[in-house]
Structure 1
């Protein structure tokens, strides 16, 4: 039976609300897998082209065992799946997130797997996971990395663009204060001081001054998702708002993005903006994977950005790492 999620704010919470700058790679991997296994007629129109591409990739890369593993513990119709699968460290990129996932304490594995078992029958291998089996935990981390690499990363540029557009709308709304941002979230309703939305079960989250991290997701398309454990940092994953042609085009953030594209060229502006994100590694190959661009093109754009004093590069072991200069950060902040 469907319920409602109620998130209760107090005055202190408004000082600790975070708006995610980039997509979260682990959340997108799990939710993207859910979309791939959802019949196309049940999806919003914006996700159906991706669904077709995803189904072809599932066959091309033989991801059947990987998908069975993840769907066994975090299926699309789950009322609850373990919170340890989506560590907050994923905001720093999939490598950081999976590192944290692999180090999940045995006590937490046992607690969260047993909680998931109360909601539905789990496959037999999850008993080993609940007992703290590090091999099974490593298999789950590998499966998430494989799904992200094969299923999600080829379209990372499109995902980033949708999240960036959603963030721009949030920043435009922020001029009227955080309540105005909360009022724009889909499918939420804001009735001060409570944010509410349809949810698989009735759930109430009291923030108690901790604030909350709002993560727009390309693949979240029905109901928002909140971490279940009240002891964890509050996180709320919500769908990106559908793009309406012409809507919001006059907002400050949208005007800034359009001006940067006119100044630098659309592709070069995307490469520059990608250096502000934390998802993935800021190497040439990492930026190329995130944006879905050829590495040779990204390398050329980075050369121009370095010559303009907007980016800098340095060797870190076998890789060359790129970052914004103060001038580049200033340009993006304008």
Structure 2
């Protein structure tokens, strides 16, 4: 049964609302894991290409093992997964987050794994982790690093661009005050003094004058997620707004790049050769080649030789620009 997350503000909390300046690598790793565990038909259109590429990269047996270990701790359908997996230090980067994760005190491991066991049966190996097995905790940290390095980092420019655009868009409403910004946070609803949204369970987060750090996420695509322990810094991760779609977006992009170049860029939603793009668009191959060079020089596509052909594919920046 779907619950509701209620975030309770006091007057003092409005002074300490923060928006993350950049994507959070730990949250994106675990939410990317959830995307990988979700059937493509249940994903929004912009996440399907990433999932397809990630599945192709799962040929590496060590990467598959890392995914299995992390799913044991934080499955996609979990109503709760341990807070120690997403330390607040992650705002300073992956290295800082992993140092904190590896140093998680034994009592906290036991407490949070016990809490996770209230919602689902945990695999037997987690009992060793709960007892403070440091080698096993290092394996967890190594698995996060491997997942991020091999599946998230290659598309980090797209992740960062999406998060930055979301943050900038929110803060454009700041002239109306903090409440005006909070009112833009779909799927949240603001009813003074509570910000609420659908959630796997019923939960109340009382900020108690500490404020809250709001983190837009590329991979979060359903409900927001909040740090569960009320004694930890208040962090709420929510789905970042993605680029506009439809004719208006196409017209704006054409005004920026030109109609022909926009058509070439949009034709690369799947990897293609120069000849296949030319045939698809009914344009001379020499003209398409010129457009591809301009787009490649701008960092919007990447070209690589595959046998007798050169194959072109969008970069993260290119996908972000066309809203894919």
TM-score, structure 2 normalization: 0.76
Partner of 1:111: 111
1:100-131 deviation line (CA, Å, top 9, x unaligned): 01000101000000110111011111000110
**DSSP 3-state at the match of 1:220:** coil
Whole-angstrom CA distance in 2 between matches of 1:179 and 1:58: 43
Partner of 2:187: 187
Q: Give the unaligned 5+ runs of structure 1.
A: 251-265, 271-290, 294-334
Partner of 1:237: 237
Whole-angstrom CA distance in 2 between matches of 1:59 and 1:34: 18
Partner of 1:67: 67
Larger Rg: 2
Whole-angstrom CA distance in 1 between matches of 2:62 and 2:99: 25
CA separation of 1:227 and 1:269: change in aligned 2, threshold 3 A: farther
TM-score, structure 1 normalization: 0.73
Whole-angstrom CA distance in 1 between matches of 2:8 and 2:212: 11
Whole-angstrom CA distance in 1 between matches of 2:60 and 2:72: 21
Q: What is the CA-CA distance between 1:242 and the residue it aligns to?
A: 2.8
**DSSP 3-state at the match of 1:78:** coil
1:179-220 deviation line (CA, Å, top 9, x unaligned): 111111121111111100000000011101000000000000
**DSSP 3-state at the match of 1:230:** coil
Partner of 1:123: 123
CA separation of 1:192 and 1:160: change in aligned 2, threshold 3 A: same
1:292-311 deviation line (CA, Å, top 9, x unaligned): 79xxxxxxxxxxxxxxxxxx
Whole-angstrom CA distance in 1 between matches of 2:98 and 2:145: 8
CA contact 1:153–1:292 (8 Å) conserved in 2:
no
Say if 2:115 is the partner of 1:133: no
Whole-angstrom CA distance in 2 between matches of 1:73 and 1:146: 16
Partner of 1:27: 27
Question: After TM superposition, where is structure 1 displaced by more than 6 Å over at least 4 residues in a row?
Answer: 266-270
1:61-118 deviation line (CA, Å, top 9, x unaligned): 6511101100001010001000000000000000000000100010100000011011
CA contact 1:186–1:240 (8 Å) conserved in 2:
no
Partner of 1:254: none
Q: What is the CA-CA distance between 1:267 and the residue it aligns to?
A: 11
Say if 2:81 is the partner of 1:81: yes
Number of corresponding residues: 258
Whole-angstrom CA distance in 2 between matches of 1:81 and 1:7: 19
